[in-house]
Amino acid sequence: MLRITTEPDGSSTLTNANGAEIYAFITPLPQDASKVTYAKPSPIPNVHRMLATLEGGHFNPIEDKDLPDSFDMDAKPTSELFFPGVDATNGSMPLFFMALSNTIHKSLNELHRVTSATQYDIQLLEFDFPFAAAWICAFPTMVQMLELPDHGYGHVASVVGGRTIFIHAIRPDNTADDIMALAAVTEQYYPMQVGKVSPQVFWIQGTKWRSLALKEGRGLFLPEDFPVKRNADGAPLMSDGRAGIRV
């Protein structure tokens, strides 16, 4: 059984029967997927949205057996899902986003944001909280709450692990240097992650995600409509005049 507690500011906290907060996280689907049939795809290919608790310092992914029958993360709450006497029939936020809200508020106090290299316009977001990367599922909210740069052309981002996100705000007059650098650091960081998420790089425009991976699922390719300086043949340009965009 689950419980919803409405806070004075109008937000809702989702907890389990023990009173532990339920958080949202993203992960490649576990091998024994039969235990987590409630999991749903995330915006990242082959990565799923799930729920977990953090009790006694232990990361505990929630399985089907821990949830009410026919549990749907994307459904709005109804009273039969909760303890008797809790009226949640008028809830307006789907259950996954209640858990994601828990993740976001916990993450805000545990963020270390630095620029990955002074010559590149890349934000490296590193969190202490192990579920923080799930925030990427509400990307426009992340941009707004963290006051990330936004020039109106979207962002290039990668989510290499549960605690680590790289973001670059696209400028229409960019050369390909920053994009290449982001792809390179993604390749560098991904093998080192304890909780790996994805080695791919994405172009995010609001809630629309596009993978910039080559057909093999790795490397980098910029589509024709990607805003970047190009030569007469349409190939993306580096600042030193080199063309081509594969790593």
Tens of pLDDT, residues 3-23: 887 767 666 788 888 888 999
Give the per-residue pLDDT at 88.
59
- What DSSP line would sit under 160-211, residue for residue? EETTEEEEEE--TT--SHHHHHHHHHHHHHGGG-SSB--S--EEEETTEEEE
Taking the whole predicted model, whether its pTM rises above 0.85 is answered as yes
β-bridge partners, 195: none
* Banded model confidence at residue 104, pLDDT cuts 50, 70, 90: very high
pLDDT (average), residues 19-43: 89
pLDDT at 138: 94
State the pLDDT at residue 247. Answer: 43
Give the type of residue at 236.
P
Q: Convert the pLDDT of each residue in 187-223 to its tens digit.
A: 999 999 888 999 999 999 999 999 998 766 666 888 8
Nearest to 3 by CA among 82, 79, 74, 64: 82
220 and 246 in contact (C-beta within 8 Å)? yes
Bridge partners for 243 per DSSP: 237
d(CA 195, CA 61): 13
Beta strands in the chain (DSSP E): 2-6, 12-16, 22-28, 40-41, 47-55, 58-61, 111-115, 123-127, 155-161, 164-169, 202-205, 208-211
Q: Cα(138)–Cα(199) distance, rounded to whole angstroms?
A: 20
Token code pair at residue 192: 């080192």
